[in-house]
Amino acid sequence: MLDTVYTIATWLVPLVIAIVFHEVAHGLVARMLGDPTAARLGRLSLNPIRHVDPFGTVILPMALAIASLPMFGWAKPVPVRRDRLRNPRWHMMLVALAGPGMNIALALTATGLLGGLIAINGGSLDAGVAEFIAQNLFNFVVINVFLAIFNLLPIPPFDGGHVVEGLLPRAAVPAWNRIGRLALPVLIILLVVLPMVSPQANVVLRYVGPVADVVIGWLFSLIQ
């Protein structure tokens, strides 16, 4: 039981912080580019309560932690009105990239903090508060890198899907948006159905995981 509580404490808190900052970054860039919708609705707050999706932010991550499976999740998407952006086609791409960009920035920051913690403790982080903080920082790096790469998948409803939309010929955009309306079924198919059908169809393990491993390995090599 204590191991489960420790696992949740060192994974759920970093995950919530990562996804809240991800969503706030979308809203901040949207405001900079002309759309104040998120700000007016109070979604630029770092208060997790304003962003929590009961299933995606709490129930699913806790279930994955208890099952000792890789954790992921999502928050309520920050509302963005593309028609209010000064250049909807290109600015929407920048808004989409802001979330993964924030996660990479957080991963770099956490790597630096972890390196500092290791230096302060003479390389020994195997007990007490230092170990708990180090585990949170380690998990924070992993989560942020994973979220950044996962959200850059070039399909709706991910941020990468918005980037693809901005690059498509205008005539193809309506069809692409119709796919985007099926966001939840797409997530279920990608994350649940395909992995059950065949390990070769597991998008996370085949594409996201290897790239994330390379990035995470490089980050941790900076503090060794």
For residue 10, the surrounding DSSP H or E stretch is helix 2-32
CA 174 to CA 168: how far, in whole Å?
Answer: 10
- Cβ atoms of residues 35 and 81 within 8 Å: yes
CA 177 to CA 134: how far, in whole Å?
Answer: 42
Q: What is the 3-state secondary structure (H, E, C) of 46-114?
A: CCHHHCCCHHHHHHHHHHHHHCCCCCCCCCCCCCCCHHHCCCHHHHHHHHHHHHHHHHHHHHHHHHHHH
DSSP tag of 121: T
- Cβ atoms of residues 151 and 22 within 8 Å: yes
Catalytic residue among 18, 23, 57, 147: 23
Residues 6+ apart with CB under 8 A from 12: 58, 61, 62, 65, 71
Q: What are the φ and ψ backbone dihedral angles of 169, each rounded to 5 degrees? A: -60, 145
Residue 165 designated active-site: no
**Which of 71, 55, 3, 81 lies closest to 184, judged by CA?**
55
* Residues involved in catalysis: 23
